[in-house]
Amino acid sequence: PRAIRQPYVNSRNRYWAQPVSREQRARFAEIRNSLVKRIADAGGAGRIMAGSDSPDLLMAYGWAMHREIAHLVRAGLTPWQALAAGTRNPAEFLGALNEWGTIAPGRRADLVLLSGNPLEDIANVGRIEAVSVGGRLFERPELDAMIRRGRLAIDGAAE
């Protein structure tokens, strides 16, 4: 609905009216990467969490997680540690590791099925073939249709 969509659109428009300079973005990334690396090197990799509130500027939910995980690898985490930052670590922090966050019998089967191994190349987190959530499987064509509907909603073509 317009009332939900409009604040996001307004924010996007305000940002692009005076975008943060390339130099400022680079400095932000440098500071972020330094902090992440220092935390990991001090033994805190298991405490780093990635989430939909990504610090990347105006990143959309979902895509922001992929970008944030890639940034964690660029900052010095291994792909395994970066994936844990978006799965296991938040579940442990929230006291829900026995329910979700890892793949094991009796846990929620919310999964993203990929066509490439993210341990070999973290960019493979974006090669989504299907998503299983809440007991329902969404395959690539249905995911693409959802993305199209989302784009239409953001552009104001759907109410």
Question: What is the per-residue pLDDT for 158?
Answer: 46
Check residue 159 and give its pLDDT: 45
Distance CA 85, CA 34 (A): 17
- AA letter at 112: V
Tell me how far apart the alpha carbons of residues 57 and 81 are, in angstroms, rounded to a whole number: 23
pLDDT of residue 60: 61
State whether the Cα torsion 26-30-31-35 is positive or negative: positive
Helix (H) or strand (E) holding 4: helix 2-17
Q: What is the DSSP string of 55-116?
A: SSTTPPTTHHHHHHHHHHHHTT--HHHHHHHHTHHHHHHTT-TTTSSS--TTS---EEEESS
**Please, what are the averages of pLDDT over each run of 10 residues along the chain (159 residues)?**
78 80 91 94 93 57 82 95 95 94 90 96 96 93 92 66
H or E stretch covering 154 = helix 140-154
pTM score, two decimals?
A: 0.81
d(CA 113, CA 145): 17
pLDDT of residue 76: 94
